[in-house]
Amino acid sequence: MANRRKVTVIDDEPSVLRATERLLRAKGFEVETFASAEAFLACGATRPTTCLVLDIKLGGMSGIELRRRLKASNPNLPVIFITAIDSEAIRKDAMEAGCVAYLQKPFLSHALIEAIERATGSSEDPTK
């Protein structure tokens, strides 16, 4: 049975990547991180994960481009987009690409946890 609490985080800001990883691990999630869409793809984008936390504005391929690319092979993978650059057009593109949540940086910790739990149907805490 797949781990219903494995989250993959892709963000090109090292501080955001580290902080998000620490938060999720503290909440009992298994976490895998990548600094770019290209690194994620090169490492095997087909690796099992239950949710993808994906920055929209990455250095190379954008998060929205990556989501569109992954949709063909894994259309039901829950994606939570995070972004520091918010606009109506970006929000619209994110929704059309298929996301379960859209969070603007800096986001509240509980907002991210709630979005992941909603996306994965996994609200139980294995540490309790």
Neighbours of 2 (CB within 10 A): 8
Residue 1 lies in a domain: no
* 61 is a domain residue: yes
Question: Domain for residue 24, yes or no?
Answer: yes
What tens digit of pLDDT does each residue of 6-49 get?
A: 999 999 999 999 999 999 999 999 999 999 999 999 987 667 88
SS (H, E, C) 38-97: HHHHHCCCCCCCCEEEEECCCCCCCHHHHHHHHHCCCCCCCEEEEECCCCHHHHHHHHHH
125 occurs within a structural domain: no
Facing residues of 8 across strands?
A: 32, 52
The Cα–Cα gap between 94 and 22 comes to: 25
Residue 14 lies in a domain: yes
Rounded to the nearest angstrom, the gap between the alpha carbon of residue 80 and the centroid of all alpha carbons in its chain is 5
Residue 126 domain-assigned (yes or no): no
Domain coverage including residue 77: 6-120
Q: What is the largest CA-CA distance in the chain?
A: 42
Domain count along the chain: 1
Would you state the structure tokens that stand for residue 114, as one six-digit string? 């709630």
In a domain, 87, yes or no: yes
pLDDT in tens, 77-116: 999 999 999 899 999 999 999 999 999 999 999 999 999 9
How big is the chain by its Cα radius of gyration, in Å? 13
In a domain, 127, yes or no: no
How far, in Å, CA of 101 to CA of 121, rounded?
Answer: 14
* Domain CATH code at residue 68: 3.40.50.2300
> What's the pTM value of the predicted model, to 2 decimals?
0.89
